[in-house]
Amino acid sequence: ALRTDFDIELVRCSDGTEENPAGPFSLPPAGRVDGYSQTELVFGFHPTVECVSTAEVRLHFATPDVPDITIHLEATGGQVPIAVERDVVDLRTCVYGQTYREKIVIHNRGKTALKCSMRIRPALEDNLVFSPDLLYCQGGESSYFNATFKPTEGLLKRLGKYADMETGIIEVPMRVNVPDQVLPVNFVFRAKLTTCELVFDPPRLDFGRCPLSESVVAPLRVTNPSRLTQKFGFVNLPPEIKIEPQKGFGTLLPDETVELTVRWSPSFVGPGTAALTVRTLLVDKTYTVPYDAACYASPLSFSNNLVHLPATAWHATSTHSVEVKNVSKHSQMFEFAPPPGSHLTISPLVTTLAPGGVARVQFDFTPKLPVPEPPPKAEEEEEEKKSRPSTRGSGRAKTPPKTADDKKSRRESSRPGTEGSDVPKEPEVDLTAEWPDDDFDGDPADFIENLTIRVPCYIKGTDMVLYTEVQATVIEAK
């Protein structure tokens, strides 16, 4: 008899995959058998889960007249003694800089005590600690490791492939070392990292210059970049500061931005610098938003520079009165300039007050629907008009219509102190809402909007401009 070589071919495996056709089995690649002798083949079985696996292999001999031999393999993978209670330990959402604790429960299904220790990846050594370092789990009983996790902002970058930079989720494979157990005990440590910061835009408020007994407002945007909902509140506010809405308290959803209105009503003359205090409940953090402002004395005093008008229907009128007092020792002449298109009528517009005098100014708000353009004339009417005899030259000449520029120049010439005075040019005042136009889809009578209108008041001989804010709502009459 001669020596014969043979190859080993895997025919099938119950737990095989495309990446690993042999599944939990390991096969020798080939073998050799001498004449009148025998050889030994070693097949390995390495299960990772509890299972029953079968496989079939075939031996192909190099000698043509020797038939193939089929071998059937069957093995059972049982439970290992040491196992973790949860395959995935999820700490859910964790905030940078905060400390979180969790129990890693170990079960011993065997009958003898086994030694266990945790293996930590180098990237997590500064953020994750297990105690105790080593424990003995008695047979048939359970024990646990205490995990202490304190994430930092550089952790995502250090973990590399185990972290998702967009979602902030980390999934790190971990292992329990058991010297007397061949199969490893693995689990996944998972957490979603986020910040607890609030972003303020602008980071510093500037109210500019404001006359005494008046108010000035500044917008403040607060953004929550965290993946958790945060409750915030402005606390210990000075009496001259008012914040709306909800008096500076609110709740921000993840990635939500809210715009607040900060109103400063000075009570003393001179420059001022202070800070607003903001506190959050998520981690009990305190922020400060500094602001700069300056107050100067005004010769006029308003009883109210914020006018709240009731809901007004189209072509109806709402009225509110404001008292203006001259607190200086000289006569003062002033003029209100309502913005064009504001549907406001102020009377009187121009007034002169003696020292200590008081004038009542009335604000009338009458919203009116836009007048629709006349429909185009038919072609027959145009031809009939052309056929009529011309009347050019007969009768007296028609007065050309006044343009918007003529009206504007006439209004400016009637303003007090326009010539040779220091009254500044009327600034452009924009409304915070648009009225129905060609882009409005639907009936203009259904247009409902809240309006905020700032009306300037000019004082003759000075560069002071006092503002009165009018808040109105237009509704449809029922």
Two tokens at 66? 């020797």
Using CA atoms, how far apart are residues 134 and 179, in angstroms rounded to an integer? 12
Query: What are the phi and psi torsion angles at 473 (to 5°)?
Result: -130, 130
Average pLDDT of the chain is 82
- Give me the sheet containing 270-280, strands edge to edge: 205-211, 286-296, 270-280, 230-235, 249-252
All domains of the chain in start order, with CATH: 4-77 (no CATH), 82-194 (2.60.40.10), 200-296 (2.60.40.10), 300-369+411-475 (2.60.40.10)
> β-strands 249-252, 205-211: how paired?
unpaired
Is the C-alpha dihedral spanning 470, 471, 476, 478 positive or negative? negative
Two tokens at 224? 């929550």
Ranked by mean pLDDT, the top range of 64-78, 137-151, 261-275, 464-478 is 137-151
Query: 381 pLDDT band (50/70/90 cuts)?
Result: low
- Contact predicate 150/127, CB 8 Å: yes
Residue 466's alpha-carbon distances to 61, 205, 296, in angstroms, are 106, 20, 12
Query: What are the phi and psi torsion angles at 343 (to 5°)?
Result: 60, 30
Question: Does the pLDDT at position 429 exceed 70?
Answer: no
Q: What is the pLDDT of residues 157-193, one digit of tens each?
A: 999 999 999 999 999 999 998 888 877 788 999 999 9
Using CA atoms, how far apart are residues 420 and 409, in angstroms rounded to an integer? 16
Please give the share of the chain, as a percent, with pLDDT higher than 90. Answer: 38
Q: What is the pLDDT of residues 108-164, one digit of tens each?
A: 888 888 899 998 889 999 999 999 989 999 988 999 999 999 999 999 999 999 999
- Contact predicate 185/82, CB 8 Å: yes
> How much is the pLDDT for 1?
59
Q: What is the mean pLDDT of residues 430-450?
A: 49
> How much is the pLDDT for 478?
60
Q: What is the pLDDT of residues 234-253, one digit of tens each?
A: 999 998 899 998 899 999 99
> How much is the pLDDT for 417?
40
> How much is the pLDDT for 415?
42
Question: Does the pLDDT at position 448 exceed 50?
Answer: yes
Other Cβ atoms less than 10 A from the Cβ of 417: the count is: 16
